[in-house]
Amino acid sequence: MKITVIGTGYVGLVSGACLAEVGNDVLCLDVDAEKVRILESGGIPIHEPGLAEIVRRNVAAGRLRFTTDPVRAALFGTIQFIAVGTPPDEDGSADLRHVLAAAAGVGRHMDGYRVIVDKSTVPVGTADKVRAAVAAELAARGVGLAFSVVSNPEFLKEGAAVDDFMRPDRIVIGADDDRAVALMRALYAPFQRNHERLILMDVRSAELTKYAANAMLATRISFMNELANLAERLGADIELVRQGIGSDPRIGYHFLYPGCGYGGSCFPKDVQALIRTATEDGGMDLRILSAVEAANAEQKGVLAAKVLGRFGRDLTGRRFALWGLAFKPNTDDMREAPSRTVIADLLAAGATVSAYDPVAMAEARRIYAGEPGVSFASGPMAALSGADALVIVTEWKEFRSPDFEAIRSALRHPVIFDGRNLYDPVLVAAGGLEYHGIGRGSGKA
């Protein structure tokens, strides 16, 4: 099947590469000529485990190609995926300019039936706007070509996106006509050979499903973060509480890990957009989600507050080692990352920061270019040199089992602030270190 993917960002590149992997002929369109050049030469502009190999393999096989030519792209695929960014506007609503421009481009150049698929995360009602944009371009050309608009939201986790696409939990298709449904079923048949994963629904329900899924996950995180803060005040251990409630099959263990807040390109943006959609189009306030957003913003400040509580409000002359810059492991994405809040708060108090992350260093250097208070270490132990304490923000695997005696020897003060509850406070204390977790109290050596 011939497929066009408009946008080679995180969603577009993963989708295009994985669709090519099962034998489809895929052409990816992007307006960024430099990005296209990098992709054509075998480079990958994002960090995602397993993606580089799939891209290179399918480029070599001729099944995956890239272009900056919108005419070529519109003429290529019967199925046209729109996978461009929908950044939040100042009011929190999703910016649909790129989506609608992509749709208009298809309508301007298509020469036959097309299935136009909204893969980007978009508000309810976007399919209607996409349909209108395509219809307007066809009318301006004076042609009456048939087309369908489908909602096919992505459920890809950064750091596990390739596996999520190749072995999906579910494939949500929002469509209104049988012709489009048949094509989408054929497209996704290779990804559901052992059992049916495709869930068919109307377009608006599919659009809402994506927002609802991310909003639910964000809610669980903020709920556990608030419980962790309460547990700390009550002298309880949130890790034991997590095990106690997670064992209930109605609740489960997923997304019950407290920490220093959620970040990334999805949860913050989607929660804000859903709140805005409810206000503008639904005429109602989503009070729970407003509380989720407020709780997360406050939680991002908890880790630095612990540092200030331990070392005082004035941190002038203090230096802190920071492990983890990406908003989560297995990605270099620092959008809305809690590390950025922690660093900002420490710098504001007069401290300096020596940071390390396994893959996000290049992105961090870009963000903090010209900031004299932030330096970057070659490894986790190198970051400890001359530091007053260690602050852990991202739960990378390589941080899970460190040499606590070596940490104690390297630090000026034997103190760990663990924003992801990686360690057992008793073991840390046994290593001669003072431990401050989230919702676990303070374990002093």
SS3 52: helix
Q: How far apart are the first and last CA of the chain?
A: 63
Phi, psi of 353, rounded to the nearest 5 degrees? -130, 135
Whether 36 and 30 have beta carbons less than 8 Å apart is answered as yes
Chain centroid to CA 182:
31
Torsion of CA 20, 21, 24, 25, to 10 degrees: 40
Distance (Å, whole) CA 317 – CA 67: 52
How far is residue 183's CA from residue 23's CA, in Å, rounded to a whole number? 15
Task: Report which of 363, 348, 341, 250 is spatially closest to residue 296, judged by C-alpha positions.
Answer: 341
User: Active site includes 266?
Assistant: yes
Task: Answer yes or no: are the C-beta atoms of 268 and 336 closer than 8 Å.
Answer: yes
Cβ atoms 352, 375 nearer than 8 A = yes
Tell me how far apart the alpha carbons of residues 325 and 43 are, in angstroms, rounded to a whole number. 23
Backbone torsion region of residue 91, taken as left when φ is above 0, otherwise alpha when ψ lies between -120 and 50, otherwise beta: alpha
Integer CA distances (angstroms), 44 to 32, 40, 67, 198, in order? 14, 9, 15, 30
* CA dist list (Å): 285 to 138, 219, 268, 270, 289: 38, 16, 17, 15, 9
Percentage helix, strand, coil, to 5, in the chain? 45, 15, 40
Question: Which DSSP symbol is given to 141?
Answer: H
Signed CA dihedral, 6, 12, 17, 21: sign only: negative
How many whole angstroms separate alpha carbon 302 and alpha carbon 440? 13
- Beta-strand runs (E) in 59-129: 64-67, 79-82, 114-118
Query: Catalytic residues, which ones?
Result: 266
